[in-house]
Amino acid sequence: MSTSKKVILVTGASSGIGAAIAIKFSEEGDKVVLVGRNERKLHNVSQLCKEAGGNTLIIIADLTIDADIKRVINTSIEHFGRLDVLINNAGVPGSESILSDNAMRVFDEIISINLRAAVYVTHLAAPYLIKTKGNVINISSIGSTAICFRINSQYGASKAAIDQFTKCVALELATYGVRVNSVNPGPTKTDFMKRFGYDEEKQQQVWNTLLKATLLNKIIEPSEVADLVLFLASDKANSITGSSFVIDSGFSLKGLIEE
């Protein structure tokens, strides 16, 4: 499913879904801009991309800093001369009770990367995407609308906003031939639990719980999310815009059919 040697910008490319997306596009022979904060991990992903046939550019950046976001776009254009696909994948998990004294601090931290960064990156990238009639794919979550978790209002709100942002920007940019969609993964095998400081035993307990909560008895692989992203970025999806695509092994449905 060729994307015709396009230039792809992936934020949050150092691990998990972002890394899998970068590698998937590299397999198509595309040029991939890898954006993230962890230089060592980005170099590891870059090596895998090159082995897969891609051409990469690494940009170390903190997307909560406006100057870094500007540098990401400017450096990408200076290096590759164009931009065809923007993947807004950078994001952080997090939760805090609305009753907690830390509620607003956690809210600001999550919104700054999960929402504001995606909005600003898209704002700066849009003129270049218009030139190539490219597209934007935002990585959201089933936590946006389908599933609510206790003590997770900040994260859920950030992803619900991303879905609405997707629709509104799709309306605005359709005139220019630019498509905008979102992908909403369910339980995906990434290292997000390590960010919470869970030990191996606790991680396995959580994975087992999530596994049992799926219809297909299956945790999603990052490469499966990447397959969906690749399709949406390709010419085979030319009639798709303003849509959100759930990939969750039936996680969001199981509670509706259980007796």
CB atoms within 10 A of CB 196: 12
Closest CA to 219 of 244, 245, 251: 251
Say what the alpha-carbon torsion angle 68, 73, 74, 79 is, to the nearest 10 degrees. Answer: 120
120 assigned to active site: no
- CB-based contact 86:124 (threshold 8 Å): no
- Of 120, 128, 155, 176, which is the active-site residue? 155
- CB-based contact 56:34 (threshold 8 Å): yes
DSSP, collapsed to helix, strand or coil, labels residue 40 as helix
* Cβ neighbourhood burial of 149 (10 Å; 0-12, 13-18, 19+): exposed
Q: Which residues are catalytic?
A: 155
